[in-house]
Chains A and B, each alone.
Chain A
Amino acid sequence: MAVFTVPNIKLSGISSCVPKQIQDNKNFSLLSENERELFIKTVGIRFRRVAEEGVTASDLCVAAAEKLVTDLNWSRDEIKILVFITQTPDYLIPNTSSILQEKLKLSKSCMAFDVNLGCSGYVYGLSLVSSLLQNMIGGKALLLVGDISTRTISMQDKSTAPLFSDAGTATALEFSLNHNIHFNLQTDGKEFDDIIIPDGGYRNPVSTKSFEVKKYDGGNLRNNLDMKLDGLKIFNFALREVAPNINALLKEKGIEKSTVDFFVFHQANLLMLESVRKKLQVEAEKVPYCLYDYGNTSSATVPLTMVVKLRELLISQKLNLLLSGFGVGLSWGSVYIETEKIICSELIEL
């Protein structure tokens, strides 16, 4: 297991942006009324935010970053690192982070790159940015994480359509002595095709066949440019891997579970997360959920949950947080981080 500590890094601020447009799973006609009720109760997702045509994940992240940089009163010249984590970039080429560097008016003395990760992306992003920052005394960084997964799914596929939602987030990190962050990151590529868009990359380039709509289990319809998600396999994966990953991190770093104020999970599925919570033997009030109102926003779920559910506490007191992301890849990880009266901007709607 990749368990490690990055010293001298502080999380200074966080912000999130969601599209204004709301879809209600109570109106999802592919499911019967009973099925809709069971879905909302079990999976826990009622409302989903859907980006308008022409709005990308980077647009949502720009709105989040603009607000955060203003609220932090940071000079843009001080920002030396920009990392954009997404699976829905603006273009295949070039990297979206360069476009973001320009849009945010950051200096040319700023490294910028994209990372293709989804559900685990926020935790991985924190590890990357903090590792880069630790040798940069006085350095400041922006971690932008977001996806517009609603563009990647077939609305005729019950296994994905009622799950996904769009959001963009920004997190500010800076060099700061005596602040340590602990990570446990893992990967298992054996099941890489449990969540996949089969065509459109260079293994299976787009062809006319990519657009052929096929019928799958349960009558679900999708083509090879739509996301396929094997819900039961991902459910098994989460039950098998998430709690041991978190327990190993806490044990290795000598952190008592009872001292963690909140466990913020990737907002995938309420039944799955409640199963993980019970395995961890953590009280319900320590596990915030925002998936009823905001769905599964892919890489953005963890920071979005922090903004929506923990904002008042984040800005007013010291918190010990355990954040955990898991899914596509398969890739998963957890991070233990202490925050103290950070800047947490109000949720932005675009």
Chain B
Amino acid sequence: MQLEDFIQKFAECFHQTEPSSIQANTRYRELEEWGSMMALIVIAMIDADFGKTVTAEDLKSANTVAELFEVVKNK
């Protein structure tokens, strides 16, 4: 699992947010579009594409996309 791949898949989850604006250091919970619905979509994506289950606590514990990638990688 590569960070670049994760960032691309993560960015594809969003509908209103420009994909190029999502980078490794993006604080995703501060994005305007982020909310409980986006959390569901991201959990489903990580489950389907990376075979890992992330929880609400995981999403709260990570600040940036790169930090979330580390959480997923270490599962």
Residues of A within 8 A of B (CB): 34-35, 38-39, 42-43, 158-159, 218, 230-233, 235-236, 239-240, 269, 271-272, 274-275, 278
Contact = CB atoms under 8 A, between A and B. Distances in A.
A232 B53 contact: no
B35 A35 contact: yes
B48 A275 contact: yes
B40 interface: yes
B37 A38 contact: yes
A292 to B, nearest CB: 16
A239 B53 contact: yes
B41 A42 contact: yes
Interface in B28-65: 35-37, 39-41, 43-44, 47-48, 53, 55-56, 59
Given A42-B37, A232-B40, A239 B47 contact: yes
Contacts, number: 51
Contact of A233 (B41, B47, B56): B56
A231 B35 contact: no
A-B complex: 4 closest residue pairs judged by Cβ atoms: A232-B56, A275-B44, A239-B47, A38-B37
A271 B47 CA distance: 12
B36 A278 contact: no
B35 A42 contact: no
Nearest to B15: A38
**What secondary structure prevails in chain A residues at the interface with B?**
helix
Contacts of A230: 56
B47 A35 contact: no
Contacts of B37: 35, 38-39, 42-43
**What secondary structure prevails in chain B residues at the interface with A?**
helix
B53 to A, nearest CB: 6
Contact of B48 (A38, A235, A269, A278): A278
A271 B41 contact: yes
B16 interface: yes
A218 B35 contact: yes
Contacts of B39: 232
A34 B15 CA distance: 10
A35 B48 CA distance: 23
A39 B35 CA distance: 11
A218 B47 contact: no
Contacts of B43: 232, 235-236, 239
A231 B56 CA distance: 10
Nearest to A274: B44
Nearest to A231: B36
A280 to B, nearest CB: 13
Interface string B6-35: 000000000110000000000000000001
Contacts of B35: 35, 218
B53 A236 contact: yes
A278 B59 CA distance: 23
A233 B59 CA distance: 12
A42 B53 CA distance: 19
23 contacts: A34-B15, A35-B37, A42-B37, A42-B41, A218-B35, A231-B36, A232-B36, A232-B39, A232-B43, A232-B56, A233-B55, A233-B56, A235-B40, A235-B43, A236-B43, A239-B44, A239-B53, A271-B40, A271-B41, A272-B40, A275-B44, A275-B47, A278-B48
A236 B16 CA distance: 25
Given A42-B37, A42-B41, 6 more contacts: A34-B15, A218-B36, A231-B40, A232-B55, A272-B40, A275-B47
Contacts of A269: 40
Interface-centre pick from A159, A236, A269 (highest chain B CB count, 10 A): A236
Contacts of B53: 236, 239-240
B43 to A, nearest CB: 6
Contacts of B15: 34, 38
